[in-house]
Structure 1
Amino acid sequence: MAPPNTDAIIQEIEKLNLQSIAREKGHYVVFPETKYPDLELFEHKDPGHRADPTKASILKHAEKVFDLTPNIGTEIHGLQLSALTDTQKDDLALLVAERGVVFFRDQDIDVYQGIEFIKHYGPPHIHNTFGHPEGLPEVHVVYFDTNTFKNYKSIGGVDFSLLVTGADGWHSDVTYENQPAGLTLLKIDTLPPTGGDTLWSSGYSAYDRLSPAFREFLEGLEAVHTGQQQVDEALRANHVLRRTVWTATHPVIRTHPVTGWKALFVQPGFTRSIVGLSKRESDLILKHLFEHIAGGVDFQVRFKWQENSVAVWDNRTTTHNAIFDYLQIGKRHGWRVTPQAEAPYFDPKSKSRKQDLEEKAAAAQA
């Protein structure tokens, strides 16, 4: 009889179980001295372009599919992300592009499968400053517990002593990159007794809710996004900066490459100024837009996690906000993998979500 594949056995034994490590050891990330070349521009081909408009491979094979709100958020039961075919991954890309965020419960996908899964949607992003699990630089760890306030002044560039309101936490991931995040996967596997929900906001509807004159004013403007706060935090902690670029300029109104819909693309996490305006003008407009996002309860969805739930969302057309209401009572852990997508752009011929859906509905009744 042939001997077993020793390399495969060793690889399986050495795989990390992040859930077990978090529960047994607490905060476990490492900060190697490894540096990387600055990210180069590449042509991104969104798999949503290959999708069946009916998304049949997903919707017809699920046990249950339902929208959580009219404007954002869909939940799917009966599918395992670890077992999706390429066709299903394409259809999922279109569904996420349309609905902003899609949720799955009772998922068996592990971090290694998660990395491979996300490669279907783009090259995995390695964060410029954050720690990661040993040997897994593509993985962003979500871990907060009752010692967070005591042990850390700030996490991810957010100074807890200056955090006045939870509205300050709205962000889209790594928008300071020239080609920031696209479709993104987060699995939460450890939860406090209560709390720890996450909010998502629709950039499509945020755009639609602005007045026509204000929308017209914003279209064509660009804003500066920076990760300087994260860099400052890393330098204070004597952690390595992996790359030398952490600032980018993007359109204030962005067009999604698959849906063709316009979305508001600013957020308090990383957007700092609007190009061509005075500081006073820029600050006033951004303050209004940030408050518009935070106060837009009619285009937000709040997800109550269960252990081993997964959220798959589009960072191009949503913002999200983790709620830190549990830091006195328990711990919350999960992991995220984040692919890069195209460089943000604005197509003046693109439509709003509302306009496009209304036109399609009228055409169907004609």
Structure 2
Amino acid sequence: MSPTPVVHGIVLSGDEKDASLAERNTHATRVAGKGVDPEKKALFASVTKRIDYSPKLGTELHGIKLAQLTDQQAEELAAFISERGVVFFRDQDDLDNKEHVRLGRRWGPLHVHPFVPHNQQDPEIIVLDSRISPPTRFNTNDSWHSDVSFEPAPASYSILKFEEIPESGGNTIWSNGYELYDDLSQPIKTLLEGLTATHSSDIFKLLVQTSGRKTFGQLNDSVHPVIRTNPVTGWKSVFINPVFTREINGVTPAESKWILDYLGDLIVKKLQYQVRFNWEKNSVAIWDNRSNYHTGVPDFKPYHRRGVRVTVSGEIPYYDPNSGTQAKAWEATANAIIAKQEAAEKAKADAEANNSAKTA
């Protein structure tokens, strides 16, 4: 039996002993965050500062230590991540490998990636190190995707921490699948809601051939609905991505290409769907793969970066025609913001009028 290739505690390739590690992957048996307190009072009791990166996507929370969350806070955080798409944290130096794994397991079974290098002691922790990753754009950079959508039960949440960051560059960008769905015309929505797509691990199969590395388990292909219901929020989102979605089923190849190209173009080019995160050492991002896409920005050479990620396996994707939308849920929030702005403007105008009257 040949030894497993290991570099600095990172397992680079499978061998006879661990070639079936990923076969343990399964789906979630419950939906973390579903039905929690809408105000999330337990979570926000510890928050000292909140920064929303855009109205509908991305929030940075200060005052939270992920390694110290109570069970109630962890459940409320899962719900908040599903609503905001991605949530960012700074200064999480105490989120070591043990705590990283523990946090992920609070939300579901952890995924073992069938190809990406992982931590020797904890195979659920994949290592994203620019020094050892294959020299291909289909790495962690320049490749819009949702994590492991080729699996029968793709990722719900991903928890990524960067331990080493480049002196410049190396940001990550997220794009909002809820908003992409909401902006489509009704005829296109109706078309897509009746379709499924095949998500493939073809790129990893190609890397197996070109790199000579062996897998940690089967490289799957899976069929999922093109429009997916997020079980936490109950909102619809588009569920395809440029990396892992091979084809739209039940249409001609030309139609499949048109649909995938059109939706992929929106993911990549619609800036109003996107937020960008500037990493610092020990920053953490947690996102919901069911309703978002992300890509690393490949602009940090000759610097390096190294991150570790835990990926939570979710439920088998489904579409409920009675699902709601982020746009509808957002109406009440938007109206409250408008009312607050109008009240502030009225108060300012009244104060100016009173001051004018006093000086008249």
Query: What is the TM-score when the length of structure 2 is the normalising length?
Result: 0.85
How far, CA to CA, are the matches of 2:90 and 2:39 in structure 1? Answer: 23
Q: Say which SS state the counterpart of residue 260 (structure 1) adopts.
A: coil
Query: Any conservation in 2 of the 1:31–1:132 contact (CA below 8 Å)?
Result: no
Match of 1:5 in 2: none
Check 1:192–1:86 CA distance in 2 against 1; reply closer, same or farther (3 A cut): same
126-135 vs 301-310, which moves further: 126-135
Give the letter for the 1:67 counterpart.
D
Aligned to 1:12: none
RMSD: 2.5
Amino acid at match of 1:136: D
- Report if aligned partners of 1:29, 1:141 keep a CA contact under 8 Å in 2: no
Q: Report the alpha carbon displacement of residue 229 of structure 1 after superposing the two structures with TM.
A: 1.3
CA distance in 2, matches of 1:245, 1:332: 26
1:202 aligns with 2:176: yes
Question: Partner residue of 1:7?
Answer: none
Alpha-carbon distance in structure 2 between the residues aligned to 1:336 and 1:40: 16
CA contact (8 A) 2:201 2:219 kept: no
**Rg larger in structure:** 2
Aligned position for 2:312: 339
Structure 2 counterpart of 1:214: 188
For the 8 Å contact 1:220–1:346, the answer to whether it is kept is no
Over 3 Å counting, the alpha-carbon distance change for 1:40 and 1:306 in structure 2 is closer
Distance 1:40 1:194, change over 3 A: closer
Question: Identity of paired residues, percent?
Answer: 38
8 Å CA contact 2:13–2:215 kept in 1: the answer is: no
Match in the other structure for 1:81 = 66
1:32-88 deviations in whole A, cap 9, x for unaligned?
411227457545311212521111111122111121111200000011000001100
- Distance in 1 (alpha carbons) for counterparts of 2:205 and 2:122: 21
The structure-2 alpha-carbon separation of the partners of 1:220 and 1:359, relative to structure 1 and needing over 3 Å to count, comes to farther
1:224-279 superposed Cα distances (whole Å, 9 cap, x missing partner): 00012112212333322333351000011100001100001111110010000111
Is residue 2:106 matched to residue 1:120? yes
Count of matched residue positions in the alignment of Structure 1 and Structure 2: 329
The question of whether the paired residues in 2 share the 8 Å contact of 1:142 and 1:333 is answered with yes
1:255 to 201, 213, 229: 229
Q: Does 1:68 align with 2:42?
A: no
Aligned-residue offset at 1:293: 0.5
Aligned to 1:144: 130
Query: Which structure 2 residues correspond to residues 349-364 of structure 1 after superposition, within 5 A?
Result: 349-358=322-331
- Aligned partner of 1:110 among 92, 96, 105: 96
Quick one: which amino acid aligns to residue 269 of structure 1? V
Q: Which amino acid aligns with 1:346?
A: Y
Counterpart among 100, 103, 109 of residue 85 in structure 2: 100
SS in 1 for 2:42: helix
| Cα contact 1:50–1:90 (8 A) shared by 2 | no
Instruction: Work out whether 1:224 is the aligned partner of 2:198.
Output: yes
C-alpha change, 1:41 and 1:28, in structure 2 (3 Å) is closer
CA spacing shift, 1:270–1:106, aligned 2, 3 Å: same
CA contact (8 A) 1:253 1:262 kept: yes
1:46 maps to which of 17, 28, 31: 31
